Amino acid sequence: MLDYPFNFPKIEAIFLERVNRFVVKAKIKNKKIFAYLPNPGRLWELLLPGKELLLFKNNKNSKLPYTILACKNGSHYVLLHTHLTNKIIKKLITEGKLGFWKDYSVLKEEIKFNSSRFDFLLENKYTLEKMVLEVKTCTLFGKKIAMFPDAETKRGTKHILQLINIQKDGLKSGILFVIMNPEIEYFIPAYHIDYEFTQALIEAKDKIEIRAIALKWDKTFTYVKNLKELQIPFEFLKKIEDKGTYLLLFKLQNKEKIKVGNLGEKIFEKGFYVYVGSGMRNLTKRINRHLRKNKKLRWHIDYLIPKAQNLKTISIRSFEKLECKIAKDLALISDYMIINFGASDCKCKSHLFYFSKNP
């Protein structure tokens, strides 16, 4: 069984593609292999072709020969094996390296409250006060800001709401976000990606303990060299509203001839498409409408979505309507645009763009 510190042998590899949610194709020297990815997140910003990976060998009874441990991002590695984060945090708590919980020890792991499991039950060594703790691994970050989640998480929202209820019942509770990037200074919930989770965390601000830390590893990615606590700018988060712009990304498996409202019949080539729209009153509701199968055909995109495969959404919450600015930028990088598509209420030539390769 793997444990922390990571003293086991590590194998360098190059990322090629993500076959599915839990399987990755990679290359060790000149040999192509498949590896297990123990991380359900999107990881769009990390798993790019050519990225360096750290793997370890599985036992002979495993379906895949390797498992992914980490991915290189800039000059440091990011832990992708989310199951190992708890082992790290347990060790840091036991050794008193988390200053804000230096008086606590781990009493139990994987404890159940109502219908959910939480990572730890901690106990204060002096007062015997107990605390339920949930740990979240954060792999989404920019230069100075880290965000969680990188994909919508109903489970994460449920955890926060239940932690609030646990606190109401008289038992202390908290959540710890663990960021795998030592250069980060701030943590925020990813309000662009999961507005419901963001609102739940804001609600929990004065009711449970919310902490975020950034880890710095040694050069061999064996142990945590040091850590620091991050700031969480809640005052900024309170200003966020459910309004803004969105992208719909999808694939057409075959060339299609489709009647599109007042545009008439249009030929859509096999390939990838990006549609840009906005929802300045209720962005979540607008996106969810696009995802529904049974709906009245109202907008141009409604005629195309039934043929779409691998439909993905990207939301951008903002007070400013960015739809036309984004459409202008997409026109510069796409193969071509579908003229007059989805642009009846603005001066843009189109809001639908074609890519021959996956954008």
User: Residues 134-189: pLDDT tens digits?
Assistant: 999 999 999 999 999 999 999 999 999 999 999 988 899 999 999 999 999 999 99
Helix (H, G, I), strand (E, B) or coil at 223: coil
Assess whether 139 and 233 both reside in one domain. Answer: yes
User: Would 6 be classed as within a structural domain?
Assistant: no
pLDDT of 23: 98
Assess whether 59 and 141 both reside in one domain. Answer: no
Assess whether 49 and 112 both reside in one domain. Answer: no
Contact 252/319 with Cβ under 8 angstroms? no
Helix (H, G, I), strand (E, B) or coil at 27: strand
- Average pLDDT score, the chain: 95
Helix (H, G, I), strand (E, B) or coil at 217: strand
Assess whether 260 and 161 both reside in one domain. Answer: no
Helix (H, G, I), strand (E, B) or coil at 323: helix
Residues of the domain holding 320: 244-355
State how far the Cα of 50 lies from the Cα of 29, in Å rounded to an integer: 12
Quote the distance between the C-alpha of residue 353 and its chain's center: 25
pLDDT of 170: 87
Instruction: Classify residue 221 by its DSSP letter.
Output: S
Q: What is the mean pLDDT of residues 7-27?
A: 97
Report the CATH number that the domain containing residue 204 is assigned in CATH.
3.40.1350.60
- For the chain, how many structural domains are there in total? 3
User: Would 180 be classed as within a structural domain?
Assistant: yes
Instruction: Count the Cβ atoms, other than its own, within 10 Å of residue 115.
Output: 7
Report the CATH number that the domain containing residue 58 is assigned in CATH.
2.40.50.580
Assess whether 51 and 189 both reside in one domain. Answer: no
Ordered DSSP codes for 296-359: ---SHHHHHGGG-EEEEEEEEE-SS--HHHHHHHHHHHSSEE-TTTT-TTSS-S-SEEEESS--
Assess whether 144 and 155 both reside in one domain. Answer: yes
Contact 335/354 with Cβ under 8 angstroms? yes
State how far the Cα of 235 lies from the Cα of 67, in Å rounded to an integer: 40
- pTM, full prediction: 0.92
13: enclosing H helix or E strand:
strand 11-20
Instruction: Count the Cβ atoms, other than its own, within 10 Å of residue 327.
Output: 24
**pLDDT exceeds 80 at position 1:** no
Assess whether 163 and 261 both reside in one domain. Answer: no
Assess whether 91 and 148 both reside in one domain. Answer: yes
**pLDDT exceeds 90 at position 249:** yes
Structure tokens of 79? Answer: 């832990």
Q: What is the mean pLDDT of residues 66-72?
A: 98
Helix (H, G, I), strand (E, B) or coil at 322: coil
Assess whether 88 and 229 both reside in one domain. Answer: yes
**pLDDT exceeds 90 at position 293:** no
**pLDDT exceeds 90 at position 220:** yes
